């Protein structure tokens, strides 16, 4: 885990893959014709002109916690089957303890898929 997390340099790439592994879609109208806007790291829907980023509509969009920190915390929680303490998330990601605690709560909740904007399949 400790070696894995710093390797997640391209967290946006990871998130893009996780969210849209079956193809990029407009979060608003689900249209498939999406163009990438240069410079801004944003995308635009050809149908409704809605502009969005990878984190649009996810819990990551509403916080100042960078995407790579969410990715690291999520990886840690998956690795430990949700048992990682907020303290260990804090140590790994350098966020404050209350932030680590909040992230753990969100990422461990049944609605985490929704929070992350991904279809989440729970392990049996
Ligand atoms: Zn659209």
Q: Residue 124 has what pLDDT?
A: 42
Q: Please tell me the distance between residue 37's alpha carbon and the centre of ligand 1 in angstroms.
A: 14
- Residue numbers of the domain that contains 24: 5-116
112 found inside a domain? yes
122 found inside a domain? no
Which residues lie across from 51 on neighbouring strands? 44
30 found inside a domain? yes
If you average pLDDT over residues 1-26, what whole number do you get?
A: 56
110 found inside a domain? yes
CA distances (Å), origin 30, targets 4, 24, 49: 33, 9, 12
Confidence of residue 53 (pLDDT cuts 50, 70, 90): confident
For ion ligand 1, residues whose CB falls within 5 Å: 26, 28-29, 31, 45, 47-48, 50
Q: Please tell me the distance between residue 57's alpha carbon and the centre of ligand 1 in angstroms.
A: 14
**Quick check: pTM over 0.85?**
no
124 found inside a domain? no
Q: Residue 81 has what pLDDT?
A: 84
Specify the number of domains making up the chain. 1
32 found inside a domain? yes
121 found inside a domain? no
Cα separation, 120 vs 103, whole angstroms: 17
Q: Please tell me the distance between residue 52's alpha carbon and the centre of ligand 1 in angstroms.
A: 10
């Amino acid at each position: 885990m400790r070696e894995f997390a710093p390797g997640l340099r391209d967290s946006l790439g990871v998130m893009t893959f996780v969210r849209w592994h079956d193809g990029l879609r407009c979060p608003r109208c689900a249209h498939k014709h999406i163009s990438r806007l240069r410079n801004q790291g944003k995308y635009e829907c050809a149908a409704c002109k809605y502009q969005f980023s990878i984190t649009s509509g996810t819990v990551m969009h509403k916080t100042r916690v960078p995407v790579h920190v969410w990715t690291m915390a999520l990886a840690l929680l998956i690795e430990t089957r949700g048992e990682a303490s907020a303290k260990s998330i804090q140590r790994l990601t350098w966020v404050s303890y209350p932030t680590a605690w909040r992230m753990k709560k969100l990422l461990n909740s049944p609605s985490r898929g929704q929070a992350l904007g991904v279809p989440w399949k729970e392990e049996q």
